[in-house]
Structure 1
Amino acid sequence: MSAVPALRLRPLLKLSLLLSLSASPLFVPVSYAEDTASRRSYQVPAGSLSAALTRFAGLSGVNLSVDPALVSGRTSSGLSGEYGVEEGFARLLQGSGLQLQAMGEQAYMLVPVPEGSHLELAPTSILGTTGLYDGDTYAGGQVARRGSQGLLGTRDFMETPFSMTTYTQDTVKNQQARTLGDLIANDPSVRATNPAGGRFEQFTIRGFSLFNSDVAYNGLYGVLPTYTIDMEMADRVDIFKGPTQLINGISPRGSVGGGINVVPKRATDKDITSFTGSWASDSQAGGAVDVGRRFGEDNQFGLRFNGVKQSGDTEWDHQSVDREMAVLGLDFRGERLRLSTDIGHTERDTDAPQERVQVAAAAPVPSANAVRRNYAQSWSKASTNDTFGTVNAEYDLSDAVMLYGGVGARKSNHDFLRHAVSVADAAGNFTVQPRYFTRDENVRTATGGVRNWFHTGPVSHEVNLAASYFYMDFTNGGARYATAQSNLYNPVQTPTPSTATRQDAKVYTENAFSGLALSDTLGFFDDRLLLTLGARWQRVKVDDWTNDVKGKTGYDEEKVSPSGGLLFKATDKLSLYANYMEGLSQGKIAPSTSRNENQIFPPFISRQVEVGAKYDAGAVALTAAVFRIRQPAYETNATTRLFGPNGKRQNQGLELSVFGEPLKGVRLLGGVMYTDSELTDTTNGTYDGNRAPATPKYNVNLGAEWDVPGLEGLTLSSRGLYSSSQYLDASNVKQIDAWTRLDVGARYGFKVDDKRITLRANVENVADRRYWSSAGASDDSEPGLTLSTPRTYLLSATIDF
């Protein structure tokens, strides 16, 4: 017992006279019939079980006697919300094989669950939940209760003064999501802005661009592959709406509409051995393995491996995709120290990838319904290779102080033989100008900080101090070839490029971002009112060289970005919140379609104000948010072909979302986003009052699952997506029509010789409708039309051994 910290010795000493009663057969029944008045709000972070129990005992004001040997090496997922004392302890101990034994008034000791019995958790009210559900996922299992918030740690969605949704691994599996682009189809605030059969994936959140390079991996930016992210590596995916600089610092491309964080898979206490065979139309066949094991005393060491191989033709003629992924995750969980590392490699080769369709000033909007063949040349291709790795650590310096940190790196090589598609007239003619394009990237990133929990009188505090660093260098090069003519509606096969007509300049760029952030979450009235105040100092340094000659548009600037959030738990089921967030973005880079190609512009600031409410009815949750985001607007001038800033844009809107299982066997997932987007202060007021391009007024997503009664294991599903019309340009002359997409699916799970088998079938775009799903993004340097995903059949069979 000498190794036990003094904080833990106090309750042991107070209970020393009672330890002789430890053999008593009298145990506390976990009925949770505690008086409502005794319930209060608690915030206990995930970590070692010892630290979690000590913190909860201190907050609840009870004495707890603990034998260190019982809790050594064990972890707890923590808790957040309204609990009674015994109810809270039981949640922290869930799955540990331990329980409380009463030792007198406000005094307990920890003992093993008697052999041959198990601890029953009666229906309780966790954050308003009225039924018995897994404390880590919401009813229905599609959305997680807790999400990763970088600097602020992991929190329950009802304790978060921001709009955030965390999708689970079950959602990924059941929808057969192969890439991040497949998964975001569940969220009305997010839209894909590049064709599903294209070179890369790109998205908008609340109308602003989000690039793959801005997707975090366990809180670290720039580690994941630049162009496409495979979902087989993900345990959870956090989608955060609004600027995220306070949480994770400035992202590589400076996305401000929101952020996405991919949480890697970890080995569980239960062995995992799973194989999935898959097929996608036209003829893509593949397989995936998922293996997880824990070893050592108290299962301290964990190993999780995921591997994928899939190849074959898509629905588009002469298009094929060959992808490979291997990710190994290792972790250690000690009493106070937690370590993890993830190492991955992905390769993706795409023949005839589709590009966005640009529309010349003199041409009308092409008819998407008339595009029935792949307009990409058969010789075009995209090859991406990414190798990445991370190491993360947490250490409980004491029961109230935690140190944490992470480092990551990535090396990537990308080769493309591509051509732009810019429709010149009503007939759909465009010029094929082949371009060989290479991009090599090197990334190094790190973060570290300290988190401290304490009280000043009746006010609780969670203080976070964190530093971050991000470095990326990349080299672009290539060549141009002789042009030819083709047509969007009747593609013409052109000769395979052979002799370059021009070598592109070699462009080398270095980005270095550093930052320091401080925040404090203050809890008033037993943490019913939570106030988060914080700020992040950031330095952004960018330099570039063209053919070894240093450019003149690099910069070295710094800025302090304040942020804050207020959350009030009006009732056990209703949370009201408001926030103010500032985001610093790296300056835009002029696109290849402009006369000032590769010119770098200075960084700029975006500001968001948001007010919202979250209602947790137990089986189903509803959220609502009203937001306004302002930032500078950029465009390529139609006359001068120069890219640069032109006024400001403001997106203000309303988001409504729903998820859960309102009826037994019926699950809902989706929502609505309304956006009013306006341009102001444009040159000579030309576009003032116009709607920002590529921003639909309405996005609607609604998915439903139904467990068929009388047919155990059979589930039917459907999902509808809708976006209203969008303008292509700031003048609001050209626009694309509204569109609707319907997906359907079914799965059937059963057992054969103790092996769990799950068969899944999904059809995307059942009606095979052809439409322009996006006009790009108004803050994107290379806008263009995105063609809809054709009808695609997905089949898979998973065997869990």
Structure 2
Amino acid sequence: MSGTALAVTSFLVSEIPAHAQGQFAPNATAQLMISVNIPAGDLNASLLALSRKAGLQVFYDMNKVDGLRGNAVSGTMTPDEAFSRILAGSGYTFSRSGQRISILQVSSPIMLGPVRVGGRYRIAVPATAMIGNLPPTLPGGEIARGGQLGLLGNRDVMDTPFNMTSYTEAFIQERQIRTIRDALKDDPSVRGIFSEGTAGVERLQIRGFTLDNVDISYGGMYGMMPFSGITSELAERVEVLRGPAALLNGMSPGGAIGGVVNVVPKRAHDTPITKIEADYTSNSQFGGHADIGRRYGKEKQLGIRVNGMIRSGSTAIPYSGMKTALVGAGVDLRLHHVRLSTDFGYQVRNIDGVLPYYSLAAGVPVPDVSKVKRNYKLPWSYFNGEDIFGVFRGEVDLFRNFTAYGSVGVHDYKYRGAYSQYVVVSNAQGAASGSSPVGIVQNGRYLTADLGVRGKVDTGPLKHDLAFSANRLDLTMGRIFGSNTDIPAYALNIYSGKNYYPLNRSVSVPYSSPKTGTSTLSSLAFVDTISTLHNRIQVTAGLRAQRVQSASYSTTTGAASGIYDKTAISPAVLAVFKPLKNVSIYGNWIQGLQQGTTVGTTYANAGEILAPYKSTQYEVGVKADFRKFIATFDVFQISQPNTVSNAATNILTVNGNQRNRGLELNIAGEVLHGLRATGGVMLLDPTLTNTQGGTYNGQRAPNTSPVNFNMGLDYDIPFIKDLSVTSDIMYTGSEYIENSTSYRRSIPNWVRLDLGARYAMRNPATKKGKITFFLNVDNVTNARYWNSSGARFLSLSAPRTVRFSIAADF
């Protein structure tokens, strides 16, 4: 036995019958409660950590449990309850005699039944399940130890062959984050593009490639999230998987290849949830939020979680106001071999005084951002959005270690607005022209379904994790613009703010839109993960067959045109190797898919439908688990195809390429006692190759920064109990906004600093609850900087924004 653990003594045990498991545990009420936060991991290490925390001697044969995995345990409970949770499903139980704990092997290692937690029972969930199988958190509770990998199910971060981060509800609440996009502000691989208050979607960039809201999944399902902006109150967690993931999730509606963002729906916890919050956001936004969750039944089978939010008033941006409202509900039923869940959401988002984008005429230098007005007085402009969505999921344990699952979801949305989309700057003195206002109506329906099975097969020295999935997503969309030829473009100056547009003019807005397009994404996928040497070596291989069908329709005749129907096969190979118990080396070769182009009439091959574009990623990385925090380092290359034409034949083909090479260093968890850190750095080399006629070969791709640094810190002040402070710093390097054979215009680098504080005190209205005061200031220095969004469009940063809230737990 190793001499490093005096509290743990080797003890050769005899087997006991399975029906006797747990019968030795004494009455939990006679024990002192302890606070525990032990992540899932090596069972030997978990037992040693718990024995030290509880001050108990633990006796067992260390060789017999070598290679076994202990479950995560977190919260306040008795030592016996903690041992039960760590050992659940391991084939071992325990007995207690005073300060002595003996770990005993059951006669047939099987998954344990109900596990006693806090004096009540909760039904155990198999590893192949998704419902009720939320991965545990790292110490501090801001980052989870794992997340959803689509077809592969939930995986611990050390068993994940990707760079992945999962931000928890605690992280979101402690910084008073309002949108899903802002929940990713400490991620160096992610950048927001359009500013809040514009008519565009809250677009993201991951590893230099764009991702729109339609590409954000909800519990692994695409097309369910609100179209223009997603409120953070919907999320239990926000997960980011960096890189293409066609095998894992299928093709997203927008064809994003830089990564996957997944919103995990809220669920009722074993502990009752009752939260009420009132908040203020500058300049005069007031709102409130209520969140209630309960579990019912002897074994906590039924869970209900309901939350609602409303905010309204003027924002920190001049001449702009916003109203946001949300009602969300999640219900789940967990039986011994069947689990069901349903989620519902209704969101309204209205903007008054819509912000335009900035576009530069040829030869005009990038404007001095320190002098540009943030908005212009256009009180007639507005953008109203309404989304309603629902998802139903079910799981059935077919037999030992095999689970079948299915899900179906529907999302209806409607948007209506009138605004001036952009301002074109015509000279260095700031003279500009606002585009002619448009009236627009857009509506759509997403209908998606997913069926599959996940299972584990033990074939001696090799273990197989098998998964099969079939999914389909249907989109029907209508979009029509109002006729506003009588309302001309207007003149203004972006520096003085002088506006020549007549304010009393109205914009014609349609009331409805006929069908203008349909799209269907359907696929079949299979994957096998082979592991050996107690999961020290894991190799995953699989493929997905993806079919893409789409068509556009005339708004006047309803006739179909531009019909598209193509299929692509995307394989992948992934691997994890653990040379040490706390070190993982991983690699992946995986593809992303984007819909191919229908060749236009100006080319000799007009009408040809090009096959879906396959973007390929190569990535190698290493992860180190320091128990309280995890560090990840990786290098990657993603190649995205582009179309080019042959000058001699005038044929359009897919021969162009953008190659993004980069390295990332990430850290997450409690790096020192009371100090939690989340963030890192990404260095990126985005290079264009095989461009049209070789004109831009070797140039750095536009709208991508080569250096991105983000770091969020959360610190508990040691000399003032329950007072914590946060800081988030973001740095983005200079980036080009266009391709050019001569002078290339670029926007400068920028730095932003956010600060916050929170103080908790006992809630006098309840025994266990608390009242927490939150104060957060985004962009403390009121830094001004440009965001580039492609097509020479620039978006001005948001000003200093103050948020204050009071939250009460009951």
- Normalised to the residue count of structure 2, the TM-score between the two structures is 0.82
In structure 2, distance between residues paired with 1:22 and 1:761: 50
Against the structure 1 CA distance between its residues 478 and 112, is the aligned structure 2 distance closer, same or farther, given a 3 Å change threshold?
A: closer
Deviation digits for residues 637-693 of structure 1 (CA, Å, limit 9, x no counterpart):
xxxxxx997821000000101111121111111100000010011111110000000
Correspondence 1:546 to 2:558: no
Q: 1:477 to 1:24 in 2, by over 3 A?
A: closer
Decide whether the 8 Å contact of 1:373 with 1:489 is kept in 2: no
Give the partner amino acid of 2:750: W
- Is 1:91 aligned with 2:86? yes
Tell me how far 1:375 sits from its aligned partner.
3.5
CA–CA distance in structure 1, aligned partners of residues 94 and 105 of structure 2: 17
1:426 to 416, 428, 435: 428
Residues 185-231 of structure 1, C-alpha deviation per residue, up to 9 Å, x if partnerless?
11010000101222230100000000001100001100111110000
1:763 alignment partner AA? V
Note the alpha carbon deviations across 1:514-556, whole angstroms, 9 max, x for none: 0000000110212110001110000000100122354543310
Task: Name the residue aligned to 1:324.
Answer: 325
| Structure 1 residue 392, shift from structure 2 partner | 0.8
Residues 25 and 95 in structure 2, CA contact (< 8 A), matched pair in contact too: no
Q: In the alignment, is residue 750 of structure 1 matched against residue 765 of structure 2?
A: no
Which residue number corresponds to residue 492 of structure 2?
Answer: 486
What is the CA distance between 1:295 and its match in structure 2? 1.5
* Structure 1 match to 2:10: none
**Alignment-derived partner of residue 659 in structure 1:** 668
Name 2:789's counterpart in structure 1: 776
Residue by residue, what CA displacement relative to the aligned partner does 1:99-124 show, whole Å, maximum 9, x if unpaired? 668797654997999999999xxxxx
Task: Report how far residue 427 of structure 1 moved.
Answer: 2.7
Q: CA deviation at 1:394?
A: 1.1
Residue number in structure 2 paired with 1:282: 283
Deviation at 1:725, TM superposition (A): 0.3
1:255-302 per-position Cα deviation (integer Å, ceiling 9, x unaligned)? 000010000111112111110111010010000000011122322111
For residues 387-428 of structure 1, the C-alpha deviation after alignment (integer angstroms, 9 at most, x for no partner) is: 000001111111221001111001110012121222222233
Match of 1:705 among 697, 711, 714: 714
The change in CA–CA distance for 1:260 and 1:302 in structure 2 (over 3 A counts) is same
1:680 alignment counterpart? 689
Alignment of 1:221-370 (within 5 A): 221-370=222-371
Shift of 1:376: 6.6
Equivalences, count: 717
- Within 5 Å, give how 1:181-196 maps onto structure 2: 181-196=181-196
Identity value in percent? 35
Quickly say closer, same or farther: Cα 1:285–1:607, change in 2 above 3 A.
same
SS of aligned partner of 1:173: helix
Cα 1:520–1:715 shift into 2, 3 Å: same
Question: Are 1:416 and 1:438, in contact at CA under 8 Å, matched by a contact in 2?
Answer: yes
Q: Deviations over 1:687-726 (max 9, x none)?
A: 0000000111100001112211121000111111000000
- Alpha-carbon distance in 2 for matches of 1:321, 1:253: 27
- C-alpha separation between the residues in 2 aligned to 1:116 and 1:771? 51
Question: 2:544 maps to what in 1?
Answer: 536
Letter in 2 for 1:529: I
Mapped partners of 1:476, 1:490: distance in 2:
36
Kindly state the Cα deviation for residue 25 of structure 1 after the two structures are TM-superposed.
7.5
Superposed counterparts of 1:473-512, under 5 Å:
473-481=476-484, 482-483=487-488, 484-491=490-497, 492=499, 494-495=501-502, 496-498=504-506, 508-512=516-520
Residues 314 and 573 (structure 1 numbering): CA distance in 2 closer, same or farther, change over 3 Å?
A: same
Counterpart of 1:253 in 2: which secondary structure?
Answer: coil
- Residue 764 of structure 1 is matched in structure 2 by 778
Partners of 1:254 and 1:586 within 8 A in 2:
yes
Task: Give the residue type in structure 1 aligned to 2:550.
Answer: V
The residue type equivalent to 1:761 in the other structure is L
- In structure 1, give the amino acid aligned to 2:631: L
Q: Which residue of 2 aligns with 1:594?
A: none
SS, match of residue 703 in structure 2: coil
| Residue type at the aligned position of 2:440 | F
Q: RMSD value over aligned CA atoms?
A: 3.4
1:691 and 2:700 are equivalent in the alignment:
yes
C-alpha displacement of 1:507: 6.3
Deviation at 1:356, TM superposition (A): 2.7
**Are 1:437 and 2:440 counterparts?**
yes
Q: How far does residue 437 in structure 1 lie from its aligned partner after superposition? A: 1.1
CA deviations 1:145-172 (Å, max 9, x no partner) are 1201110000100110011100000000
Q: 1:687 and 1:300, CA in 2 relative to 1: closer, same or farther beyond 3 A?
A: same
Tell me if the contact between 1:18 and 1:103 (Cα under 8 Å) persists in the aligned partners: no
For 1:312, give the aligned amino acid. G
What is the rounded CA distance, in whole Å, between the counterparts of 1:536 and 1:300 in structure 2? 35
The answer as to whether partners of 1:553 and 1:599 remain within 8 angstroms in 2 is no
Residues 359 and 261 of structure 1: CA distance in aligned 2, closer, same or farther (over 3 Å):
same
CA contact (8 A) 2:114 2:299 kept: no
* Residue in structure 2 matched with residue 787 of structure 1 by the alignment: 796
Alpha-carbon offset, residue 326 of structure 1 = 0.3
Which deviations, in whole Å up to 9, do the C-alpha atoms of 1:591-627 show, x marking residues without a partner? 9xxxxxx999763111100000101111221101100
The separation in 1 between residues aligned to 2:609 and 2:728, in whole angstroms, is: 41
CA contact (8 A) 1:465 1:517 kept: yes
Alignment map for 1:381-780 (pairs within 5 Å): 381-421=382-422, 422-428=424-430, 429-481=432-484, 482-483=487-488, 484-491=490-497, 492=499, 494-495=501-502, 496-498=504-506, 508-547=516-555, 548=557, 550=559, 552-587=561-596, 603-633=612-642, 647-731=656-740, 733-753=744-764, 754=767, 755-772=769-786, 774-777=787-790
Deviation at 1:505, TM superposition (A): 9.8
| Residue matched to 1:179 | 179
SS in 1 for 2:264: strand
CA distance in 2, matches of 1:502, 1:287: 33
The answer to whether the 8 Å contact 2:644/2:692 transfers is no
Q: Is the 8 A contact 2:442 2:513 kept in 1?
A: no
User: Offset of 1:586 from its aligned partner?
Assistant: 2.4
In structure 2, stretches of 5+ residues that fail to align are 1-14, 29-46, 75-80, 97-101, 122-133, 601-606, 646-651
Q: Which moved more, 1:157-166 or 1:30-39?
A: 30-39
Q: 1:572 to 1:105 in 2, by over 3 A?
A: closer
Distance in 2 (alpha carbons) for counterparts of 1:374 and 1:151:
45
Q: Which has the higher contact order (CA 8 A, sep 6+)?
A: 1
Give secondary structure in 2 for the equivalent of 1:298. Answer: coil
| Partner-residue secondary structure (3-state), 2:336 | coil
Change (3 A) 1:111 1:583: closer
**Counterpart code for 2:193:** T
In structure 2, what is the Cα distance between the partners aligned to 1:686 and 1:334? 63
Amino acid at match of 2:494: L
- Partner of 1:312: helix, strand, or coil? strand
1:505 and 1:546 in contact (8 A); partners too:
no
Where do 5+ consecutive residues of structure 1 fail to align?
1-13, 45-75, 80-85, 120-133, 592-597, 637-642
Instruction: State the SS of the aligned residue for 1:161.
Output: coil
Could you say what secondary structure the match of 1:270 adopts? Answer: coil
1:312-354 CA distance string (max 9 Å, x none): 1011121000000000111101111111000110000001122
Q: Which amino acid aligns with 2:190?
A: V
2:405 is paired with a residue whose SS is strand
